[in-house]
């Protein structure tokens, strides 16, 4: 197979990203890999779709650092492919990173992903599903039993009223965004920093205020789902605890959160079962749930990260399982003459 990984930019990639570990696994299983960015699609006059991809040399890399070095060097070759030459388009960009400086780029993966799927390419996660999930409002479509008490507003008085009913405080963050940017804990409506927080966050649009969960002080659990079910390999779940750095409320790895092993509980599995139907319905192949206690704080459907941490924690190559699942989908698609809709195929 030829697998194209769609990312925000080549220079923004890291050897520690999940995309890198997935590319490493794909090459290790004998597939061709290329990287595609928002400026790399071409819709021709004859309605043919082409993709310019930076192709990695077919190499049995042992370390993600070596792969990343080649990706950033002249070892990778820019080639133009007719879309029929691409077997899998793996959408791994974060639209929020482009929303301000490159708004034209934020939805490119979804737009051209739809066109690629219409032309028989397996696109994951399904672009129609991703179109519904472009901000955190998508989370509100899941059952209330797995969601913290939440307010979404751009009115500071509404937020004050909400905070007044939250005796343990609340987390305030932008509706659009990721990676723990502009996430604040507010203890009461009288918090002297509330006005400044409101100004900082509301500048990006609507705000989310979520009831603070005391268990969050111990971090959250990143729990991977694949094909609508927990990702399991060698009897181990693809899940780990993200422990916040001292003095931090955010547990994101890139802001100092540390990965630690976690024992998967019946509560976590019950949460996974609760969200399973919608993930399958929306064609969400690979997803990261952020779990605190018996609630989910966020569902990452665009760029769930942490597979590299899991490999180190459990000495199990979950990325290999992800690529193996794509191989199975390709075989199913070929057997049925590509008559199975992309959204259904994405979670088979």
Q: Which helix (H) or strand (E) holds 276?
A: helix 266-281
pLDDT in tens, 157-176: 998 899 898 988 899 888 87
User: 238 near 312, Cβ under 8 Å?
Assistant: no
What confidence category does residue 257 fall into, taking pLDDT thresholds of 50, 70 and 90?
low
Q: What is the mean pLDDT of the chain?
A: 91
DSSP state of 313: H
DSSP state of 254: G
- 165/117: higher pLDDT: 117
pLDDT greater than 60 at residue 105: yes
- For residue 266, the model assigns a pLDDT of 98
Q: What percent of the chain has pLDDT over 70?
A: 95
| pTM confidence score | 0.91
Phi/psi of residue 159, nearest 5 degrees:
-70, -40
- For residue 256, the model assigns a pLDDT of 47
Cβ–Cβ contacts within 10 Å for residue 72, how many?
Answer: 14
The CA distance from 124 to 21, in Å, is: 17
List the structure tokens of 258: 């540390």
List the structure tokens of 113: 């992903």
The CA distance from 306 to 288, in Å, is: 9
Closest by alpha carbon to 55, among 35, 70, 38, 40? Answer: 35
- For residue 179, the model assigns a pLDDT of 57
- 196/98: higher pLDDT: 98
pLDDT in tens, 286-318: 999 999 999 999 999 999 999 998 988 999 999
Beta strands in the chain (DSSP E): 2-6, 32-36, 41-43, 49-55, 77-82, 88-91, 122-124, 150-153, 170-174, 184-186, 207-211, 220-226, 229-230, 232-233, 236-237, 239-243, 258-260, 286-292, 295-300
């Amino acid at each position: 197979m030829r697998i194209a990984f769609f990312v925000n930019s080549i220079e923004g990639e890291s050897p520690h990203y999940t995309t890198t570990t997935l590319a490493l696994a794909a090459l290790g299983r004998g597939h061709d890999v290329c990287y595609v960015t928002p400026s790399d699609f071409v819709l021709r006059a004859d309605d043919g779709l082409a993709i310019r991809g930076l192709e990695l040399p077919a190499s049995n890399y042992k370390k993600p650092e070596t792969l990343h070095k080649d990706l950033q060097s002249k070892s990778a070759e820019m080639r133009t492919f007719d879309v029929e030459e691409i077997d899998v388009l793996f959408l791994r960009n974060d639209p929020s990173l482009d929303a301000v400086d490159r708004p034209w780029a934020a939805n490119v993966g979804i737009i051209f992903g739809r066109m690629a799927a219409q032309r028989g390419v397996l696109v994951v996660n399904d672009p129609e599903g991703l179109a519904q999930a472009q901000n955190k409002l998508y989370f509100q479509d899941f059952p209330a039993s797995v969601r913290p008490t939440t307010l979404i507003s751009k009115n500071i008085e509404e937020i004050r009223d909400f905070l007044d009913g939250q005796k343990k405080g609340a987390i305030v963050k932008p509706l659009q965004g990721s990676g723990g940017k502009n996430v604040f804990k507010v203890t009461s409506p009288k918090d002297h920093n509330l006005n400044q927080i409101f100004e900082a966050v509301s500048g990006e649009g609507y705000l989310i205020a979520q009831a603070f969960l005391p268990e969050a002080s111990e971090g959250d659990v990143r729990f991977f789902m694949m094909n609508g079910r927990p990702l399991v390999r060698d009897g181990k779940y693809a899940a780990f605890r993200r422990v916040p750095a001292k003095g931090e409320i955010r547990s994101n790895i890139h802001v100092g959160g540390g990965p630690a092993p976690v024992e998967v509980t019946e509560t976590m599995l019950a949460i996974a079962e609760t969200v399973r139907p919608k993930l399958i319905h929306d064609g969400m192949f690979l997803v990261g749930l952020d779990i605190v206690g018996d609630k989910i704080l966020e569902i990452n459907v665009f760029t769930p990260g942490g597979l590299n941490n899991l490999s180190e924690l459990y000495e199990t190559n979950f990325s290999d399982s992800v690529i193996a699942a794509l191989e199975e989908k390709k075989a199913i698609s070929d057997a049925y003459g590509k008559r199975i809709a992309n959204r259904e195929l994405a979670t088979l």
